[in-house]
Amino acid sequence: MQRALPVIVFALVLISARIIGALNSESLGNLQPFGSLFFCGMALFGSRGVILAAATWLLSYPIASIIQGYPVGMEILVPIIGFTAMVGLANFFKSTSPLKTFTGSLIGAIVFYLITNALSWAFDPLYATKSLATLGQALWTGLPGYAPTWLFFRNAMIAQAVFSGVFLAATRTISLSSEEKTTDAYS
C-alpha cells in the first residue's frame, strides 16, 4: 500500500485538475497535464508510462463532459485518436535528450490540436459546409458561441510546456538521486 500511495495521490491530483478545468473552462480551458503525461510517459517509460494517464483521463472524461454540458458518447474517440497520435510520436523520442523530448512534446501538442480540431470539423454537423474555409474556422475560431479554438491551442501549448518541463525535471532529479544512492552504496 505504501508504494501505491504516491500513484493514488497523483491520480487524484490529475482527476481534480481535470474537474477544476471543466468548472472553469472559459479561463482554464485545456490547461491540463494529460497531453504531457501521455507524451512524456511514453517517451520516458514506454507503454507502461501511459497507463496512469489513460486510466485517469478515462475516469475524468465523463465527469468533465457532464460538468461542461457535453454529451458522453462517440465524441470520446476524437481525443483518444489525438492522444494515440501523441503516444505514437513519443516513440520517436525514447532515449533522447530532455531538450529533444521537450521539443517533441510541443510538436505532440500541435499534432493533437490539428487532429482533434480537424476531426471535430469533419464530424460535427454544425460545420455544415465542409470546405477549406470552415476547416480554417475550426482550427482558428471554432463554432460561434464558444471560446475561440486558438485559445484552446494557446492553453494547450502553455500546459504542454509547463507540465512537460516539470515531468522531465522530476524524472531527471529522481534519476540523479538514484545514481547518487547507488554510488554511495558502493563507496
As a whole-number percent, the residues of the chain with pLDDT over 70 amount to 81
Nine-digit cell string for 46: 514506454
Residue 108 is predicted with a pLDDT of 96
pLDDT at 145: 81
- Most confident range, picked from 1-5, 24-28, 33-37, 180-184: 33-37
User: pTM higher than 0.85, yes or no?
Assistant: no
The SS3 call for residue 33 is: coil
**Span 80-100, pLDDT tens digits:** 999 999 999 999 999 889 999
Q: How many Å apart are CA 57 and CA 12, to the nearest integer?
A: 11
As a dihedral over the C-alpha atoms of residue 16, residue 6, residue 52, residue 94, rounded to 10 degrees, the angle is 120
Residue 160: what pLDDT?
92
Distance CA 111, CA 32 (A): 16
pLDDT value, residue 57: 87
Query: What was the pLDDT predicted at 6?
Result: 62
Count of Cβ atoms closer than 10 Å to residue 109 Cβ: 24
- What integer best gives the mean pLDDT of the chain? 83
* Predicted pLDDT at 116: 93
Amino acid at 149: T
> pLDDT tens digit string along 111-165?
999 999 999 999 988 888 999 999 999 999 988 887 788 888 998 899 899 889 8
